[in-house]
Amino acid sequence: MDLIEIKEKELLTREAAAARLHALADTLAKENDVEFERGGMRVKVHVPDEVHLKLEFELGEDGSELEVELTW
């Protein structure tokens, strides 16, 4: 069972989604931690020097999906 799980879905422009991904990528490249703040709760997570990266792309009649997953 997860101790903490934060899920968020929102509609963004492609450019805004790219900016969010850039900000996360910049944080991962420069820091040992990432922070998430949602609903008045702030979570700081340590990210080790090596992580597993998983990319999935699905193309369907109802739409497409790109999933990026980092685990450690």
- For every residue of the chain, DSSP letters joined together read --S----------HHHHHHHHHHHHHHHHH-SEEEEEETTEEEEEE--S--EEEEEEEEETTEEEEEEEEE-
Q: Domain for residue 7, yes or no?
A: no
Which residues in the chain come in under a pLDDT of 70? 1-2
d(CA 14, CA 64): 14
Q: Which residues span the domain enclosing 48?
A: 14-71
Q: Report the predicted TM-score, pTM, of the whole model to 2 decimal places.
A: 0.79
For position 1, what pLDDT does the model report? Answer: 58
Q: Domain for residue 3, yes or no?
A: no
pLDDT tens digits, one per residue of 33-50: 999 887 788 889 999 999
Q: Domain for residue 4, yes or no?
A: no
For position 27, what pLDDT does the model report? Answer: 94
Q: Domain for residue 58, yes or no?
A: yes
d(CA 61, CA 72): 33
